Structures are given as C-alpha cells and as structure tokens.
Amino acid sequence: MLIAKSIEFGLLSETGSDVVSLPGEEAGWRREAEHCFTIEEAGWRREAEHCFTMWCSGRSCCEGMLLTLKLIKRQDLLNVLINVARPKADTLQMKVQLGKDDGDPFVLCIAQKKTATRLAKEMHDLSVFCPERRPGDKHGLPASLSVMSESGEATAGMLDARATQCITLYHRKINYIHISDRYTRVAPEEQQAATTPPETEKVLVMSINIDGENDEDARPLLMLLFHMLDKLKRMRLSKEVRKCSLVKMAAMLHL
C-alpha cells in the first residue's frame, strides 16, 4: 500500500535531492522535511507536522470519507527514546459521513479500555447516551475492549458473526469504532456552558494502528468498515428503540 511505502521511504531515505523516485516507480517524491517525503498524486494533504488528510467521494450509504493519517515523531533522538519506553503506533482514522436517511438513530462505540475512558469524557454523545461501559467479553469480544451502547438491540445488530470475528482477530490494531447520529466534537463541559445545542453529524468513525512494515493487516479492517456501512443501511430497529432514541435526542436539544 502507498501508506506503507511512504512511511518506509520516509524512514530509510538518505538522499539529498528534493525530488526522488522509488525503484521501479516513475512518480516523484518531494522532500518536505528531513526524512519526510510526500507525493501529490496520492491525494494526501499536510494539515500539521506528522498529520495528513485525504477526502474520498461517497458511495451508497456514504456521503464521503475523510482519512487522517497521524505519524509518530521519528526525527529526533528524544522522541525515539520516548517511543522505546512508551511505544506508540502510527494511526489512521477513517471518518465516514453518513446520509441523513441512512440507518436508524443510535450511538455505539467499541474501543480499547483506556481509549473508551477518554472518549467518554471528550465525546458529548457518548457521555449523554452511553453512560455505561460494558466489558467486551459480554458481547463476544476480547476483554481488552469496552462497549458503550445506547441500545442493546443496535449492538447485537451491528456485532454479527463476521464483525465479531474480525474485531476479535485484529482487536490489537483497533483503537475505536464509533457509530453515531449525534456525533459532535463539543466536549460535555463545553456543552454545559453553551446556550445552543451543538451541531451534530451522522458518522461512522474507525481509528486503527498501522504498521509500515506489515500494513496488510489493515485491509480486513477496511473491509469491516464497509461491512458495517452495509449493515447500517439495512438494519431496522424496533419502534420502541427508535422512539426512546428520539426522546433522548429531544431532551438533549433542550438541555
């Protein structure tokens, strides 16, 4: 994959040229900084140091998808030593914008335990609609994961045999999977001081760790993302669950 090539080349290249090419490839890589190269044809846009984004057009049940690639710092000895003591990985976040009429309203998050604790504090929809964190083994997932869900029916519908098998097999690569029709970046404490309801989005967000040397492990998780999109399009919750969700949403708008 291109991600793996860019990471590997960024680590190993020692050439002094501003524009270089990988063996067997005609495309030119442009030097952005020491040990850091980008290629415009790839579509990645630098947002900040070690952070790149790419926007993809939509498909069925998908208005579009924003990819955010965050690389760990490798340019100085201090960060290398910190990474040895407290290992971190490069991360890829895939944020899918769902259509307004695609899928029923619910909030669901599957995350590593530490990540779940952080998200519960940072994400308004999780703090309001999913106050309880259940261990993953209660839903057939590894115990290292936590599940926060507004509806048990929605959880059972999304975590079918295929999704459960994939998450179990690659759970160490997964940071979190967040499905919400009330997604907002406004923190709970900020919302308490706000005078108007936050603007919300209908999204499916998946954050995974990637390995520049073995990024083939990311492929099944990408397929899981599209599998969940198809599930969202087809799944229909009971009238009671939908009514309860709408009541909670109305209450949030009047907070």
What pLDDT does 189 receive? 61
**Residue 107 exposure: Cα atoms within 13 Å on the Cβ side:** 25
Q: For the segment 153-173, what is each residue's pLDDT rounded down to a tens digit?
A: 989 999 999 999 999 999 999
Q: For the segment 186-213, what is each residue's pLDDT rounded down to a tens digit?
A: 666 665 566 666 778 899 999 999 876 6
- The residue that leads in pLDDT, 253 or 228, is 228
**Residue 96 exposure: Cα atoms within 13 Å on the Cβ side:** 26
Q: Which of 19-33, 134-148, 152-166, 201-215 is the least confident region?
A: 19-33
Mean pLDDT rounded to a whole number for the chain: 77
- The residue that leads in pLDDT, 8 or 208, is 208
pLDDT band at 25 (very low <50, low <70, confident <90, very high): very low
- The residue that leads in pLDDT, 247 or 205, is 205
How many whole angstroms separate alpha carbon 249 and alpha carbon 73?
41
**Number of helices (H) and strands (E), helices first, in the chain?**
9, 12
